[in-house]
Amino acid sequence: MDKSMLKQKKVITANDAANGPFSVKLRYFWRLCCRDRQLILMVIIPVVWYIIFCYGPMYGIQIAFKNFRPARGIAGSDWVGFKHFIRFFESKYCWRVIRNTLVINIYQLVFGFPLPIIFAIMLNEVRSARLKKFVQSVTYFPHFISTVIVVSMLVQMFAADTGILNFTHLIYGSNIAVTNDPRYFRLLYVGSGIWQNFGFGSVLYVAAISGIDTEMYEAASIDGASRWKCIWHITLPSILPTIMIQLLLRLGSMFSQGSEKILLMYSPSTYEVADVISTYVYREGLVGAEYSYGAAVGLFNTVVNFIMLFTFNQIARKAGETSLW
Amino acid sequence: MAKRMSIGDRVFEVIVTAIVLFLGFVCLYPLIYVFSCSISNPTAFMQGKVKLFPVGFSFESYMMVLRAQAIWTYYYNTVWYTVVGTICNILATILLAYPLSKRYFVLRGPITVLIIITMFFGGGLIPTFIMINNLGLYGSRWVMVLLGLVSTYNTIIARTFFMSLPEELFESARIEGASEFKVLWKIVAPLSKPILAVLTLYYGVGHWNTYLSALIYLPSSDLHPIQVLLRRVVLQNSRDILESADIDPDAQIASNQVKYAAIFFTMVPIMCLYPFLQKYFVKGVMIGALKG
């Protein structure tokens, strides 16, 4: 049947392509490309952008295994194998940056993850719709403020001399420079992050709660359940799938910590607790112009991240219907 | 819900309302405080009398900020990056998302894989830096537009939105022989106001708030955005900028008030736009959370 259709130069159908040899598949594919030529024309610019700006740097990853000299280019530099990786793993900074990355992420998980959930549940218990809306508007707003502004406010309001929020006189008798103190870096970094994002982080849970059938609450209250019991036995179980998936996705990114905010907040006096992998790559690789070394440390981070992200995303996919894509 | 409330429930409601109000206050307090400090009477500010609301009134700190010549260059740059950048972002995102929303599109599978890989894996800082250099974009304004031209996450949001449009809309247009471009422009675009608002918000706020890529890729401060200026004034105590505004950098307290004014001044545009865009971003999160 396939052959007769080919001879007659008839239109090849999907069925033919699926059963036919490679050449038929190719011709079928070509026919579809001709049909969708306008759509292909649309995606050309974005796809070329992806290839240059996302896959181009992936080609450049090879400098992690080379001794990159800008004058000789990526391809012309000599291969050195795992030299840069070994140097990183043997350096005293290796453990420091990995530890800080993990510790900050754990702080963010423990203190930052539950708050949006609790906040969303509490919002749901507020009777006045106007009050609810007002609080939502106010708490979502910090999410849209820039990192520079947040850190600027932090530094100003926690300044030792004029900072209104500097609390250290309660502990030490007089204010210390809390923003430069290694003991307080994580508190300020994670705390300001929670301040900025807990409201916006609750949007998803508010949506999940609004999807709960209100009849369940009515039935429960007729049976004499208190508000607290309703939360415990209706609200929480209903949004548990959303919570689980968010938790799995969050666990997948435990090894990544952006550099933007830390670069603004840290100083040599707080490197010991503040320096994470991404800031180390920035400082050593870019500012210090050790491109190959920086690329190697960055690649190590990317690979670990990828494994974590992929694993937890797969678990999330299996656990529920939501995933990253 | 039942109209009669037990005492326990009433106490519960009072506590919950109080906590929620408290959290709202916590979010609002730094913003009010910054504003109050910037606008208060300098003497009252110096004596530390400003706790929450302005004490007295003085516009002097803002006059100082506005007098600094440099600030207008920075502001212009930020506006340029935000406007040009966001327009390019949205065009590119839609040109990618619309074809991907067509289930029959022949390249749908391969392109989806191509863009999703980048959510999990990337070149990293240093290889990107080298590539930008090789492209000759180092030091060019356009690096700020091109660097994050398309976000995969936003593309998926837009694609999901386009997929929710009823297929009948396109059928008649196709029968009449309208080109895909025409369909996109005449039929899809007018229906896409919510998604355009979401994209504008996400991309626009992103551009407005950028500072690090400017520091990395733009060596000349003539091209720097306002966030970089704020960083230099507040976080690095840059003398030249304070002096160019006739502020003695050693006069700690006076320069402190100017810093508050600079912080607020940088925040104002986002504050002004926020109420208009607010209703859309919740929608954006919702669409984004759905399975594609």
**Chain A residue nearest residue B121, CA to CA:** A306
pLDDT in tens, B125-180: 999 999 999 999 999 999 999 999 999 999 998 998 899 888 888 888 878 888 88
Does residue A1 register a pLDDT over 50? no
pLDDT in tens, A235-259: 999 999 889 888 988 898 899 999 9
For residue B153, give how far its alpha carbon lies from the nearest alpha carbon of chain A (Å): 9
Range A84-319 has CATH code 3.40.50.720: no
Q: Which residues are bridge partners to A66 per DSSP?
A: A79
Residue B241 has a pLDDT of 66
Q: Which of A48-52, A132-136, B275-279 has the highest mean pLDDT?
A: A48-52
Residue B165 has a pLDDT of 86
Does residue A2 register a pLDDT over 60? no
Copy the structure tokens of residue A132.
């609810």
Does residue B2 register a pLDDT over 50? no
pLDDT in tens, A5-44: 444 556 777 777 777 788 888 888 888 888 888 899 999 9
Residue B291 has a pLDDT of 40
- In the three-class reduction of DSSP (H, G, I as helix; E, B as strand; rest coil), residue B192 is classed as coil
User: Residue A123: its chain B contacts at CB < 8 A?
Assistant: 20
Task: Identify from A52, A74, A134, A156 which residue to disrupt to test chain B contact, counting B C-beta atoms within 10 A and taking the largest count.
Answer: A156
Round to whole Å and give the CA distance between B170 and B256: 59
Residue B292 has a pLDDT of 33
Does residue B22 register a pLDDT over 70? yes
The band of B70, judged by pLDDT with boundaries at 50, 70 and 90, is confident
Asked if B73 and B222 touch (Cβ cutoff 8 Å), the reply is: yes
- B26-35, B168-177, B260-269: lowest mean pLDDT where? B168-177
Residue A235 has a pLDDT of 92
Nearest of B145, B143, B118, B122 to residue B133 by alpha carbon: B143
pLDDT in tens, B225-257: 999 988 988 888 776 666 666 666 556 556 788
The structure tokens 């100082």 sit at B64
Quote the pTM value. Answer: 0.88
pLDDT in tens, A256-313: 999 999 999 999 999 999 999 999 999 999 999 999 999 999 999 999 999 998 888 8
| Contact at CB, B230 and A157, closer than 8 angstroms | no
Round to whole Å and give the CA distance between B162 and A49: 22
Mean of pLDDT over chain A: 88
Cα B76-B202-A314 angle, rounded to 5 deg: 145
In Å, what is the CA distance from B120 to each residue of A198, A310, A318, B30? 25, 7, 18, 36
* Cβ count within 10 A of residue B292: 17
Round to whole Å and give the CA distance between A225 and A231: 10
Round to whole Å and give the CA distance between B221 and B240: 13
For residue A195, give how far its alpha carbon lies from the nearest alpha carbon of chain B (Å): 7
| Contact at CB, A156 and B216, closer than 8 angstroms | no
Residue partners of A6: CB distance under 8 A and separation at least 6: A12, A24
Residue B288 has a pLDDT of 62
- DSSP string of A26-71, one letter each residue: HHHHHHHHHHTHHHHHHHHHHHHHHIIIIIHHHHHGGGGGEE--TT
Task: Identify from B126, B137, B151, B216 which residue to disrupt to test chain A contact, counting A C-beta atoms within 10 A and taking the largest count.
Answer: B126
Nearest of B132, B113, B283 to residue B198 by alpha carbon: B283
| Cα B261 to chain centroid, rounded | 20
The band of B94, judged by pLDDT with boundaries at 50, 70 and 90, is very high
| Contact at CB, A46 and B231, closer than 8 angstroms | no
- A79-83, B31-35, B273-277: lowest mean pLDDT where? B273-277
What's the average model confidence in pLDDT over B100-115? 93
Q: Which residues are bridge partners to A78 per DSSP?
A: A67
Amino acid letter, residue B205: V
Asked if A262 and A189 touch (Cβ cutoff 8 Å), the reply is: yes
Amino acid letter, residue B130: I
Q: B80 or A214: whose pLDDT is higher?
A: B80
Domains of chain B, each with CATH number or no CATH: 1-58 (no CATH), 69-292 (1.10.3720.10)
Does residue B85 register a pLDDT over 90? yes
User: Residue B111: its chain A contacts at CB < 8 A?
Assistant: 43, 47
* CATH 1.10.3720.10 boundaries in chain A: 84-319
Asked if A170 and A208 touch (Cβ cutoff 8 Å), the reply is: no
For residue B281, give how far its alpha carbon lies from the nearest alpha carbon of chain A (Å): 10
Mean of pLDDT over chain B: 86
Largest CA-CA distance found in chain A, in angstroms, rounded: 95
Size of interface A-B (CB pairs under 8 A): 277
Look up the ipTM and state it.
0.89
Does residue B55 register a pLDDT over 90? no
Does residue A3 register a pLDDT over 70? no
Task: Identify from A36, A44, A53 which residue to disrupt to test chain B contact, counting B C-beta atoms within 10 A and taking the largest count.
Answer: A53
